[in-house]
């Protein structure tokens, strides 16, 4: 979307030779190379593209055209600007829902933006630069799905999704570490740093963006998908209003070796699953084997996702709302009507799902008498399940 972008500090400032104090917001991606990309299985929501009506206003048309291009060309993502205001973001969510694609916000303001992905199967495996460098995709999501269990409160899962969006990730390098890695690349890989053909960045892009793309490519050359889950971990911080965090502890041999090559300290690799009020990062509480839950909880025999979609489909039918929204409700963490109260559902949350104004009003009114309404709905749901 061609809109003026703010100058921000979303990225690590270039080491000393960089004279620019601020840089544009951007996201970079590089495929994970040693693991076959997951096969696309067809859209989870059937949409007749020819039946979709293009909005009449300029903004709506631009959003519609980008999503239509993704739907028809097989493009794997659309990143919308981080400068959109609240009403524009709600428009993007609503239009994206008409296409049956996955859509979610990620990041913190002023760097928060909307990403849209095809809902055609597991997410692509890739390294992403988004202030930090992390691994995203099916190799990570499949580990997270295995360890999400009843012991983790639904409202804690919601908090993570509101920060990150539905995709899980494994941090490879933190924001401060990227500067160290770039300096190390100049010393150990000068041929890569001096090769102008090594990236897809254009001449108009900043030197920092070009160097970050080279760092991503180097990461993809050295780091493999050799992820070894150790178990479910948990740490707590009583000084932070009894905050607690759940995560999968990992061994990642190739990543450890690569970090050592670039002069970075050993790192506790993990997949964050949920937290009460915020993620916990401090040197006194490690996310390694010392944080393993004892005993380890019993893991579900199958991912909860299918059951949760079925439950939300019934709920939407119960309210006489199009059940197509069930996938978005679940992917954004609203896995049951009970979660509405636990997670303190707001009208803004309903806008993120993509509901129109009338549909939002119906759900919102239902939540106003939550205790009685949820009992009535549960009885109807249990009755249908028993037949």
pLDDT at 196 over 80: no
How many whole angstroms separate alpha carbon 136 and alpha carbon 171?
9
Residue among 117, 129, 114, 126 nearest 12 (CA): 129
Q: What is the DSSP letter of 297?
A: P
pLDDT at 15 over 70: no
pLDDT at 13 over 90: no
Which residues does 207 contact at the CB level (< 8 Å), separation at least 6?
Answer: 14, 18
Angle between helices 207-222 and 253-261 (to 10 degrees): 130
Q: What is the pLDDT of residues 68-118, one digit of tens each?
A: 999 999 899 999 999 999 999 999 999 999 999 999 999 887 789 999 999
What's this model's pTM, rounded to 2 decimal places?
0.87
Element at 366 (helix H, strand E): helix 357-368
Q: What is the pLDDT of residues 209-254, one digit of tens each?
A: 999 999 999 999 999 999 999 999 999 987 767 899 999 999 999 9
- Sheet with 113-117: strands ordered across: 78-79, 113-117, 102-106
pLDDT at 125: 96
Mean pLDDT, rounded, for 341-358: 93
pLDDT at 21: 34
- Sheet with 270-275: strands ordered across: 228-237, 243-251, 270-275
How does residue 1 score in pLDDT terms, banded at 50, 70 and 90?
A: very low
How does residue 38 score in pLDDT terms, banded at 50, 70 and 90?
A: confident
pLDDT at 3: 38
At which residue do the structure tokens 């979660």 appear? Answer: 339
pLDDT at 194: 86
Q: For residue 352, what are its two tokens?
A: 């993120």
What percent of the chain stands above pLDDT 90? 72
Mean pLDDT, rounded, for 311-324: 95
Q: What is the pLDDT of residues 40-59, one digit of tens each?
A: 777 667 789 999 999 999 99
How does residue 7 score in pLDDT terms, banded at 50, 70 and 90?
A: very low
Whether the Cβ atoms of residue 341 and residue 366 lie closer than 8 Å to each other? no
pLDDT at 174: 95
pLDDT at 43: 67
pLDDT at 44: 65
pLDDT at 30: 96
Q: How many Cα atoms occupy the beta-carbon half-sphere of 374 within 13 Å?
A: 14
pLDDT at 207 over 60: yes
Identity of the highest mean pLDDT range in 36-40, 205-209, 358-362: 358-362
How many whole angstroms separate alpha carbon 173 and alpha carbon 199?
20
pLDDT at 304: 64
Mean pLDDT, rounded, for 349-376: 95
Lowest mean pLDDT among 1-5, 205-209, 276-280: 1-5
Whether the Cβ atoms of residue 175 and residue 12 lie closer than 8 Å to each other? yes
pLDDT at 23: 40
């Amino acid at each position: 979307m061609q809109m003026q972008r703010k100058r921000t500090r979303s990225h690590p400032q270039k080491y000393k030779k960089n004279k620019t104090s601020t840089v544009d917001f951007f996201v970079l991606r590089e495929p994970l190379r040693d693991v076959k990309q997951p096969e696309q299985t067809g859209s989870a929501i059937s949409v007749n593209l020819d039946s979709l009506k293009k909005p009449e206003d300029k903004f709506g048309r631009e959003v519609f055209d980008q999503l239509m291009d993704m739907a028809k060309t097989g493009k794997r993502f659309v990143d919308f600007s981080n400068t959109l205001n609240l009403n524009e973001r709600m428009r993007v969510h609503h239009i994206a829902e008409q296409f049956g694609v996955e859509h979610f916000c990620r990041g913190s303001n002023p760097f928060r933006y909307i990403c849209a992905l095809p809902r055609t199967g597991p997410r692509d495996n890739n390294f992403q630069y988004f202030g930090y460098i992390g691994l995203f995709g099916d190799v990570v999501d499949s580990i997270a799905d295995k360890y999400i269990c009843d012991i983790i409160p639904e409202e804690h899962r919601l908090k993570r999704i509101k920060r990150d969006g539905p995709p899980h990730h494994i941090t490879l390098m933190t924001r401060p570490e990227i500067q160290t890695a770039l300096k190390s690349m100049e010393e150990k890989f000068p041929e890569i740093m001096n090769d102008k053909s090594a990236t897809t960045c254009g001449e108009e892009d900043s030197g920092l963006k070009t160097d970050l793309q080279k760092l991503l490519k180097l990461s993809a050359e050295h780091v493999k998908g050799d992820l070894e889950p150790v178990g479910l971990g948990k740490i707590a911080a009583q000084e932070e209003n009894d905050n607690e965090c759940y995560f999968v502890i990992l061994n990642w041999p190739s990543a450890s070796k690569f970090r050592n090559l670039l002069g970075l300290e050993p790192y506790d690799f993990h997949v964050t699953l949920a937290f009460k009020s915020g993620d916990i990062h401090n040197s006194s509480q490690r996310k390694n084997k010392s944080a393993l839950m004892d005993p380890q909880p019993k893991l579900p025999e199958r991912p909860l996702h299918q059951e949760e979609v079925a439950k939300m489909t019934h709920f939407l039918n119960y309210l006489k709302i199009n059940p197509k929204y069930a996938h978005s409700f679940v992917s954004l963490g609203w896995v049951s009507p009970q979660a509405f109260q636990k997670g303190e559902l707001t009208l803004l949350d309903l806008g993120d799902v993509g509901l129109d104004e009338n549909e939002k009003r119906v759900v919102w009114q239902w939540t106003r008498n939550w205790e009685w309404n949820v009992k009535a709905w549960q009885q109807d749901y249990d009755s249908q399940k028993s037949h």
